[in-house]
Structure 1
Amino acid sequence: MSTATVSAIEAAKKAAGTTAVANHYPKDAKYVGIGSGSTIVYVVEAIKEAGIDTSSTKFVPTGFQSKELVKQAGLQVADFDTVPEGTVLDVAFDGADEVDDELNLIKGGGACLFQEKIVALQAKEFIVVADSRKLQSRLLEAWKYIPIEVAPIAVNQVLAKLKELGSIQPYLRMAPLPHDGPMKEGPLKTDQDFFIIDAPFKTLLTRADVAAGKGDGNGKDGLWEVDQLARTINEITGVLEVGIFSGVNGPQARARGLTGGQKPVAAYFGMTDGTVQTRKASQ
């Protein structure tokens, strides 16, 4: 990409982050989830620039990089496993690799999908911040694979099962080669010392697609509905978590007696023309 294009994308991310914080950051927040990815840099920046009193706020990161980001901003870090039992995060901000019309997400391009999901599920509101490239009508339109975190010992069995489900040449993600030191390549390891399998599938159906008769979404002819595929992959022995965020959002979860949901209540997309487009939950 040209320098001008990169600058436009970064400006778009900043606009989305600023708008999301202005609309959703509670002034009296006690616990705030901070996700991974390049867009979240601008969320933290917006919190600082807004002059919000964060002296009583603890920020819960979804991984090593987001933890370092919070620390460098001079904010208080609270690792997820140190948060008192029963604590509900006031809000959680995170990015996404792709977002569909029903606010289903694909996440895990940065290999933090497990932490990202447990933080989202512990928040009253989950807010997504991204740039326009992530805004699609269906999942797996532009982003081509689903990240899946798996136990190293189960990789071969999981790969075989994914092929049975219709995945098109799933593969184990390799770690990038170092710029210095010995040129040794191996599987990427997550913060849990698990591996990541990236599994391409055909473009996923939404619930509305199934209701409209565009397919049953149960995997016939390789066509899956978002929720059905997420549940099916999660049932494979050896899978820790799948990078599909679907189901219900925070308010819907609380109405059912739960804490939070995988789906965001709103997603903010920075557009290349400087505007911010919002996709909100219908309820």
Structure 2
Amino acid sequence: MTDKIALDAAKKLAAITAVDQWVTEETKVVGIGSGSTVVFAVERIAERVWKDGALADIICVPSSYQARLLILDHNLTLGDLDRHSKIDVYIDGADEVDNAMVLIKGGGGCLLQEKIVASCAKKMIVIADYTKKSLRLGEQWCRGIPIEVSPQAHVPVKLKIEELFGGHAELRVALMKAGPIVTDNGNFLIDWKFVAKREYNWDEVNRAITMIPGVMETGLFVDMAIKCYFGMADGTVKVQNK
């Protein structure tokens, strides 16, 4: 191994550490987040189930279509919020984590369902590589805060956010198809690039944006995660607590 490990190796370290500490024999229902780091978490859960013979009765509740496919591909028991609305632990990645454990999520477009599943969990645990850790939001993640909106409201929402908080908000456009990205819920995404180095009260910002008519949810996760595991470049795992 070199002095600086690859990002995938760092993600895997964080995922394995978190799963082994938080998904135990007492865990009955686990929420599965979305994104590249979560792939390693599902792989570890499946390994515990099928290779180690543990966690035989565990039920996995997905936060996106991608998460649903991961659960099924690994032959794990698929649950849903209709039957399993009380989740023991929710494991997910993040696009950025600041020093106060405020998260930016939604780079992959799954923020609404992720926040719904996370809100049903007793504990939310974040897994990420070292590039996602910041003292303040915007240091590492430069693509803005994702906001899921009703299609007819994307222009009014964009203008209102810019009026309230400055910066620039833009509709997220697809790369491999014509037109905007469409979420699993049939909505559009706005990415708000807030003013760099400006002091924001993210709890107040999140609440204000959520109250704008047409906003389904924001990618700001405030006071939700209790612990974050970062796979570091030197092959260690750094833990950040709320």
Within 5 Å, which residues of 2 pair with 1:148-187?
Answer: 148-177=147-176, 184-187=177-180
Aligned to 1:32: 30
Aligned to 1:212: none
Offset, 1:98: 0.4
Aligned to 1:258: none
Which structure shows the higher strand fraction? 2
The runs of 5 or more residues in structure 2 that have no matched partner are none
Aligned to 1:209: none
| Secondary structure class of the residue paired with 1:192 | coil
| Secondary structure class of the residue paired with 1:90 | strand
Query: Contact conserved, 2:4 with 2:233, CA < 8 A, in 1?
Result: no
Rg (Cα) greater in structure:
1
| Secondary structure class of the residue paired with 1:120 | helix
| Secondary structure class of the residue paired with 2:94 | coil
Offset, 1:264: 1.1
Aligned to 1:123: 121
Residue type at the aligned position of 1:169: H
Aligned to 1:245: 221
Query: Contact conserved, 1:34 with 1:40, CA < 8 A, in 2?
Result: yes
Query: Contact conserved, 1:34 with 1:62, CA < 8 A, in 2?
Result: yes
Q: Residues 5, 227 of structure 1: CA spacing in aligned structure 2 closer, same or farther, 3 A cutoff?
A: farther
Q: Deviations over 1:89-109 (max 9, x none)?
A: 011100000001111100000
Aligned to 2:101: 103
Are 2:83 and 1:83 aligned? Answer: yes
TM-score w.r.t. structure 1 length? 0.79
Q: Deviations over 1:7-61 (max 9, x none)?
A: 7111111110111011111313221100000000111112223325333221000
Within 5 Å, which residues of 2 pair with 1:257-272?
Answer: 263-272=224-233
Are 2:219 and 1:236 aligned? Answer: no
Aligned to 2:139: 141
The runs of 5 or more residues in structure 1 that have no matched partner are 178-183, 205-221, 248-262
Residue type at the aligned position of 1:237: P
Aligned to 2:6: 8
CA separation in 1, counterparts of 2:138 and 2:205? 12
Q: Residues 148, 101 of structure 1: CA spacing in aligned structure 2 closer, same or farther, 3 A cutoff?
A: same
CA separation in 1, counterparts of 2:131 and 2:33? 19
Are 2:184 and 1:191 aligned? Answer: yes
CA separation in 1, counterparts of 2:240 and 2:145? 22
CA separation in 1, counterparts of 2:171 and 2:217? 15
Query: Contact conserved, 2:4 with 2:234, CA < 8 A, in 1?
Result: no
Offset, 1:202: 2.3
Cα root mean square deviation, aligned: 1.8
Offset, 1:153: 0.7
Query: Contact conserved, 1:54 with 1:75, CA < 8 A, in 2?
Result: no
Residue type at the aligned position of 2:26: D
Query: Contact conserved, 1:97 with 1:107, CA < 8 A, in 2?
Result: yes
Offset, 1:203: 4.3
Q: Deviations over 1:102-152 (max 9, x none)?
A: 111000001000111011111111100000000111112221210000000
Q: Residues 128, 137 of structure 1: CA spacing in aligned structure 2 closer, same or farther, 3 A cutoff?
A: same
Query: Contact conserved, 2:46 with 2:76, CA < 8 A, in 1?
Result: no
Aligned to 1:65: 66
CA separation in 2, counterparts of 1:40 and 1:79? 18
Over the matched positions of the two proteins, sequence identity in percent amounts to 43
CA separation in 2, counterparts of 1:126 and 1:104? 12
| Secondary structure class of the residue paired with 1:124 | strand
Offset, 1:223: 3.9
Residue type at the aligned position of 1:185: A
